[in-house]
């Protein structure tokens, strides 16, 4: 009986059965000295994504999360579309073959889409007549930014107006942020006031984006009127509580009045759209960002 078929018993253990030698078999991983982790064949280490590591008592930082609660998208930006151009039928908006908005109608706001940064060419066509191109425009987009692109009226057609949806800098805890944008093509300069007479924004021109202002949470009533002959000494910096009913002399001169509830931690943008003494009438579209 040769060594390959013999049975041996050693110190009371089970018989050891010799096995034939392994041919072309991978070697087992061998741990380096000092109790380190075994090294084994595997994919290129550079191809293995590293896991996010949280700093001490902080939020992990990973693509899309900056660690401070804000959101970024490396190489990407977030854009949405607002249809503010009067007297136009619903439109489609695309970048190349990619459709970003379908049958977007007047007074409506699309959802955000992620788009690569760089110079991007947007095409606006009529939904019911896709061969009818209303606008083709190249817009520079920067990575990490959030934008609303508003479709507005021009002298001979339409245009896309870039409106940054940036954060409200230095906002105090427990406060909301509020701003206004004038997209009414025939309104002239406008004033936005609280109904107790305090001016929030004055001389707001067509296509002008007012800066954010802090606001205490609560229900607010606003008046929109043509800019007065005098210029207020100073617009109020922070919106606070106000009278519940409009002052009669101000409300009689107002082109529009509207109310909204402002909540802590939310950014509000009031878009003024439509025509003064025309169709569609001057109105507001209020958007929220968190």
- Bridge-based pairing of strands 176-182 and 267-273 is parallel
Residue 49 has pLDDT above 70, yes or no: no
- For residue 249, the model assigns a pLDDT of 56
**Residue 249: helix, strand or coil by DSSP?**
helix
Distances (CA, A) of 242 to 194, 207, 216, 264: 7, 28, 11, 17
CB 224 within 8 A of CB 189: no
Average pLDDT, the chain: 78
- For residue 125, the model assigns a pLDDT of 98
Distances (CA, A) of 283 to 160, 194, 217, 257, 270: 20, 17, 23, 9, 10
pTM of the predicted model as reported, rounded to 2 decimal places: 0.71
The Cα–Cα gap between 62 and 209 comes to: 32
- For residue 68, the model assigns a pLDDT of 38
- For residue 239, the model assigns a pLDDT of 61
- For residue 168, the model assigns a pLDDT of 78
Residue 99 has pLDDT above 80, yes or no: yes
164-214 residue pLDDT tens: 997 776 778 899 999 999 999 999 999 999 998 899 999 999 999 999 999
Q: pLDDT tier at 62 (50, 70, 90 boundaries)? A: very low
The Cα–Cα gap between 55 and 71 comes to: 17
Q: pLDDT tier at 91 (50, 70, 90 boundaries)? A: very high
Q: Which of 249, 247, 248, 246 has the alpha carbon at shortest distance from 259? A: 246
Residue 20 has pLDDT above 80, yes or no: no
The Cα–Cα gap between 177 and 214 comes to: 5
- Give the strands of the sheet with 157-164, arranged side by side: 113-116, 76-83, 146-154, 157-164
The Cα–Cα gap between 98 and 142 comes to: 19
Where would I find the beta strands (DSSP E) of the chain?
76-83, 91-95, 98-104, 113-116, 118-126, 129-141, 146-154, 157-164, 176-182, 190-194, 199-204, 213-215, 218-226, 238-239, 256-262, 267-273, 283-289
- For residue 236, the model assigns a pLDDT of 56
Q: pLDDT tier at 237 (50, 70, 90 boundaries)? A: low
136-178 residue pLDDT tens: 999 999 999 999 999 999 999 999 999 999 777 677 889 999 9
The Cα–Cα gap between 278 and 95 comes to: 33
């Amino acid at each position: 009986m040769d060594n390959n078929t013999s049975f041996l018993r050693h110190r009371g253990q089970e018989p050891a059965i010799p096995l034939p030698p392994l041919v072309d078999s991978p070697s087992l991983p061998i741990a380096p000295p000092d109790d380190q982790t075994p090294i084994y064949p595997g994919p290129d280490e550079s191809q293995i994504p590293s896991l996010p590591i949280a700093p001490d008592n902080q939020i992990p930082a990973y693509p899309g999360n900056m660690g401070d609660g804000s959101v970024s998208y490396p190489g990407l930006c977030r854009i949405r579309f607002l249809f503010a151009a009067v007297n136009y039928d619903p439109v489609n908006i695309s970048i190349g073959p990619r459709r970003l908005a379908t049958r977007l109608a007047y007074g409506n706001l699309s959802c955000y889409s992620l788009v690569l940064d760089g110079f991007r060419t947007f095409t606006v066509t009529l939904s019911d007549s896709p061969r009818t191109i209303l606008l083709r425009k190249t817009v520079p987009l920067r990575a990490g930014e959030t934008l609303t692109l508003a479709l507005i009226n021009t002298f001979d057609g339409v245009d896309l107006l870039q409106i940054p949806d940036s954060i409200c800098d230095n906002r105090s805890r427990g406060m909301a942020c509020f701003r206004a944008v004038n997209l009414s093509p025939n309104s002239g300069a406008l004033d936005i006031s609280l109904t107790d007479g305090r001016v929030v924004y004055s001389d707001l021109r067509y296509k002008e984006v007012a800066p954010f202002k802090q606001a205490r949470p609560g229900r607010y009533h606003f008046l929109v009127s043509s800019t007065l002959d005098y210029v207020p000494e100073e617009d109020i910096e922070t919106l606070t509580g106000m009278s519940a009913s409009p002052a009669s002399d101000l409300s009689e001169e107002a082109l529009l009045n509207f109310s909204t509830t402002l909540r802590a931690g939310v950014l509000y943008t009031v878009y003024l759209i439509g025509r003064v003494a025309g169709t569609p009438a001057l109105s507001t579209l209020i958007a929220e960002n968190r």
